[in-house]
Structure 1
Amino acid sequence: MNTQQPKISCIVSTYNKAKQLTKAVNSILKQSERDFELLIIDDNSNDRTKRICKKLMKQDKRIRYFKLNENHGHDGYPKNYGIKQAKGQYITFLDDDDVYRQDALKVLYNFIKQTKVDLIYGDYLIHNKGKAKPGWSLDFQASLLQKMNYIAMSVVMVKRKALFKVGGFNENIHILKDWNLWLRLHKAGYQICHIPIIITEVYTGDQSISDKYKLIVQHNEDGSYYSTEFNPADCKIYADKTCLGTQRLLRVAIFTMTKDRKFYSQKMLESMVKTNNYPYDWVVVDNGSKDGSIEWLTNWAKKNKVPYEFVNKN
């Protein structure tokens, strides 16, 4: 096993794709960029996957193979598991039936370093029933990302620390989990950039193109797409379910100005209770109330074990 810290971690999650997997793995091992590790996450396959991976590991020490104890039915958990095990600063994901072009990692790495963005994505070529044609080639537009997923999983390189900040893939989502992740990364303030260079060759086999990358789930009258599992405009930044750990919430301070408005103070506290245990400190600045507001607020804070500080400005 390579004990040095690699620049890039390539994650391939797989399930019962032994025949196709070898081709995908070889496309990674033949990369012109040599400083990487390859993590194969086997979602409890029952075919020849393990045997093939063990053989590949003997040929190249950069390969790390993990077989999960159970099948999860979709690749959200396996990919998150790979992120958790990864040692590289940058992460890529290759589907087990796709192949990288020889300079894929070098191109992605050079551009993400030059542009100083957090996620970079390229283009892909689709092989379908003996014919080849380009897939999506769209520059990043936040408004368009709200309507459709035009960033394919296998053409992305993203900073590992950014994935941890948002919890990686949402394991509650079975399809379009990649779209959900791109939306959450953008909402968290991470920079996304497109390069018009073909990175990956996608082989759909008997699948339709939309089935392969799940680009279309439901179709709106205006031509936009939407997911049946999440609302693109309303998804939270941190994944609802992830093996990457719980969200670390930033502690906030709430400042309240009062003067003889006990009724409104009570209404305000009702809204504070609805913060669902979000960590906060409470500072009350009172301007000489004489209606018992301070006494009531003090008792409430003690009863509910809320850290507080009262400042009398009169």
Structure 2
Amino acid sequence: MVEPLITIAVPSFNQGRFLDEALSSIFNQNLPVEVFVLDGGSTDETLSVIHKWQHKLAGWRSRPDDGQAAAINEGVALGTAPYVCWLNSDDYFIEGGLRTLVDAFAECKAPAVYGGCLNYVQGSGKSHPVWVEDFDIDRLAIRCIISQPATLIRRSAWDAVSGVDPNLHMVMDYDLWWRLYKFGGALTYIDSTVAVNREHGDTKTKTLRRRHYREAIATVRKHYGRVPYKWWLAQPYAVWFKTLVP
């Protein structure tokens, strides 16, 4: 039996219409992975999708839980692989994407590596690159320059920082990048598109913009010591104008 190389937690809640594509994209990577689906008690078609893939899953459960971040920590803790990540059930990997990230670790000692990501607008047939760039702490203070679906983390670093903060609802990934940097130095960027972030009307960043900005600003202040002016200038546009635009 081949030992798993990557532990992947898949948090989900009423995203059954997307979950099949997410799981398919994982198992089509042709890598030894252990996948744990952490469902928050969905009432849609999620369970039928889970049962379809049950023979390949390392584990799953479906019940009310303490939220996305807690579910991610739970899933990663169930595994043993040297690299870890999570894939939200409405996102998916590009073919060969995980291999690209794993191979990058052979060339660096970073606590995590990340690649490019596409943002796909559900129902439009259109996609565009997510803003991702080389790691720089001052740039990270201005915006999140790392796209979560395109990231792979050393388990040793994950364990050292205790995973994602279960008290955060919107920016647990942004906070994690800061803590990984403080633990093990700069994260390594790979100039290759490895994943797709799906944008649709039910995503938290579209429905909870004000809460997202409050958490992000508090995270920057906590880790950087101050909040760059950009946050105050951009907030009215991101919170109010984008809320009005369909």
TM value normalised by structure 1: 0.64
Preserved contact between residue 146 and residue 183 of structure 1 (Cα < 8 Å): no
Structure showing the higher helix proportion among its residues: 2
Alignment RMSD (CA, Å):
2.6
Q: What is the percent sequence identity of the aligned residues?
A: 22
Q: Which residue in 2 is equivalent to 1:11? A: 9
Identify the match of residue 147 of structure 1 among 142, 154, 163: 142
Gapped regions of structure 2 (runs ≥ 5): 225-246
Preserved contact between residue 53 and residue 65 of structure 1 (Cα < 8 Å): no
**For this pair of structures, how many residues does the alignment match?**
222
TM value normalised by structure 2: 0.81
Which stretch shows the higher mean deviation, 156-165 or 227-236?
A: 227-236
In 1, the alpha carbon distance for the partners of 2:130 and 2:204 equals 9
Identify the match of residue 163 of structure 2 among 158, 164, 168: 168
- Cα displacement (A) at 1:147: 2.5
Gapped regions of structure 1 (runs ≥ 5): 219-225, 237-314
- Cα displacement (A) at 1:172: 0.9
Letter in 2 for 1:15: F
Q: Which residue in 2 is equivalent to 1:78? A: 71
Structure 2 residue 227 is the aligned partner of structure 1 residue 232: no
Which of structures 1 and 2 has the bigger CA Rg?
A: 1
**How has the CA–CA distance of structure 1 residues 121 and 228 changed in structure 2, closer, same or farther, with 3 Å as cutoff?**
closer
**How has the CA–CA distance of structure 1 residues 43 and 113 changed in structure 2, closer, same or farther, with 3 Å as cutoff?**
farther
- Cα displacement (A) at 1:4: 4.5
Letter in 2 for 1:146: A
Alignment of 1:201-240 (within 5 A): 201-206=196-201, 211=206, 217-218=212-213, 227=215, 230-235=218-223
Preserved contact between residue 38 and residue 61 of structure 2 (Cα < 8 Å): yes
Preserved contact between residue 45 and residue 71 of structure 1 (Cα < 8 Å): no
Q: Which residue in 1 is equivalent to 2:235? A: none
In 2, the alpha carbon distance for the partners of 1:151 and 1:202 equals 12
Preserved contact between residue 119 and residue 199 of structure 2 (Cα < 8 Å): yes
**How has the CA–CA distance of structure 1 residues 42 and 229 changed in structure 2, closer, same or farther, with 3 Å as cutoff?**
farther
Considering Cα pairs closer than 8 Å and 6+ residues apart, tell me whether 1 or 2 has the greater RCO: 2
Q: Which residue in 1 is equivalent to 2:232? A: none
- Cα displacement (A) at 1:35: 1.6
Q: SS of the counterpart of 1:71? A: coil
Structure 2 residue 127 is the aligned partner of structure 1 residue 132: yes
Q: Which residue in 2 is equivalent to 1:104? A: 97
